[in-house]
């Protein structure tokens, strides 16, 4: 359920970014940060294997379980999402979990309905394991690759200092994260611009209200004012942007879960649509950083082949590279991928020519 302040924001028309009231769930992140909490979230299969190795059956409590099978640390509770006894956490933290509605009871045991992951010094709340719900907010290795892609893209673009930001009277750079999930992309981008001493205004977009709820929590904890835009990609926002980042879902998911399913053409339809919608909305000198995945067929990359006519018509420079040649290999066992060699993580960087060029 959305908190009242967030519900009010989602109901409002597009407005200038502003600091939101601190959501109650952000208090949990503050408590974890004070305990020097950190957790790098692996793939779901790795999560499953680690939990199974510890002899714990996720989401299947047993009163005969030994203490070795239960959570004993905050990383166990909020990272590995293991069940725990009430004595495993401080009474005030247990009360906080109950107050903010993330404490799930399993008889004599408990578990958290959210997980918390770290990217550099920031913490991000996202969905509990396993992420099987239609509205689940995913976080994993793709998130970390996406964060590095953003950092490298911004840091390698010298034009930010003399181009988009400075050419318009020093106004804040307008940044859009399309399909933001829990908001790590927008937070990472804001951190990068802060290092460059460039002010920015961040717009976080997602079609999933729960994703925007977690984004509000995570950005509030990070101290980054954001504008929340609920809706389908570029249709949810107006105007031009100096930077658009996106890590859309790119798998062909039989259940069509929003956080996984990239649509037709082996899951690349959504990424292709986002690119097509973004390019006309880039301000002069503006940039698109699109991280996605591509099902490679017989050594052929169908995504860049589909993008080439669009890029040829655009007033832009671009580059494209494989970031990781083999991700989500287990998906190849699905019938829809029977003719696919591999799924690769790729990065498309598109920069619109400035008005002076």
- Domain end residue (candidates: 82, 99, 120): 120
| Whether residues 93 and 59 fall in one domain | yes
| Whether residues 336 and 194 fall in one domain | yes
Helix axes 209-222, 4-11, angle to 10 degrees: 110
Q: Where are the beta strands (DSSP E) in the chain?
A: 103-106, 109-112, 114-119, 122-127, 173-178, 200-206, 226-230, 241-246, 282-296, 316-324, 342-352
CATH number at residue 297: 3.40.50.150
- In this prediction, residue 165 carries a pLDDT of 47
- In this prediction, residue 67 carries a pLDDT of 40
| Whether residues 107 and 137 fall in one domain | no
Total-model pTM: 0.89
| Whether residues 109 and 197 fall in one domain | no
| Whether residues 163 and 74 fall in one domain | no
| Whether residues 228 and 313 fall in one domain | yes
Mean pLDDT of the chain: 88
| Whether residues 248 and 297 fall in one domain | yes
- Residue ranges in the chain modelled with pLDDT below 50: 1-19, 58-68, 165-167
For the chain, what is the domain count?
2
User: Is residue 126, in this structure, part of any structural domain at all?
Assistant: no
- In this prediction, residue 4 carries a pLDDT of 35
- Structural domain including 192 reads 133-352
User: Is residue 91, in this structure, part of any structural domain at all?
Assistant: yes
- In this prediction, residue 236 carries a pLDDT of 93
Handedness of CA 131, 213, 226, 37 (dihedral sign): negative
């Amino acid at each position: 359920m959305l908190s009242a302040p967030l519900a009010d924001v989602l109901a409002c028309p597009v407005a200038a970014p502003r600091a939101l009231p601190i959501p109650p769930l952000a208090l949990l992140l503050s408590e974890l940060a004070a305990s020097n909490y950190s957790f790098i979230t692996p793939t779901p299969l790795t999560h499953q294997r680690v939990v199974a190795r510890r002899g714990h059956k996720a989401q299947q409590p047993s009163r005969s379980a030994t203490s070795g099978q239960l959570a004993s640390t905050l990383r166990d509770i909020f990272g590995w999402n293991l069940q725990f006894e009430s004595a495993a956490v401080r009474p005030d933290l247990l009360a906080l979990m109950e107050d903010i509605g993330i404490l799930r009871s399993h008889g004599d045991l408990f578990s958290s309905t959210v997980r918390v992951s770290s990217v550099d010094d920031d913490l991000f709340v996202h969905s509990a394991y396993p992420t099987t719900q239609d509205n689940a907010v995913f976080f994993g290795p793709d998130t970390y690759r996406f964060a590095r892609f953003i950092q490298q893209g911004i840091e390698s673009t010298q034009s930010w200092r003399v181009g988009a930001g400075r050419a318009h009277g020093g106004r804040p750079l307008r940044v859009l994260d399309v399909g933001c999930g829990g908001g790590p992309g927008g937070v990472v981008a804001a951190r990068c611009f802060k290092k460059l001493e460039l002010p920015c205004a961040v717009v976080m977009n997602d079609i999933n209200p729960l994703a925007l709820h977690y984004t509000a929590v995570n950005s509030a904890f990070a101290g980054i004012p954001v504008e929340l835009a609920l809706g389908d990609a570029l249709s949810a926002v107006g105007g031009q942007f100096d930077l658009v980042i996106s890590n859309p879902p790119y798998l062909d998911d039989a259940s069509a879960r929003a956080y996984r399913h990239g649509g037709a053409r082996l899951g690349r339809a959504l990424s292709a649509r986002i690119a097509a919608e973004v390019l006309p909305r880039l301000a002069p000198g503006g940039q698109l950083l699109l991280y996605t995945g591509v099902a490679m067929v017989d050594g052929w990359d169908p995504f860049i082949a589909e993008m080439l006519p669009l890029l040829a018509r655009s007033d832009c420079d671009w580059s494209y590279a494989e970031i990781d040649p083999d991700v989500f290999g287990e998906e190849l066992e699905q019938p829809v991928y029977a003719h696919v060699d591999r799924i690769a993580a790729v990065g498309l960087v598109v920069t619109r020519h400035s008005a002076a060029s």
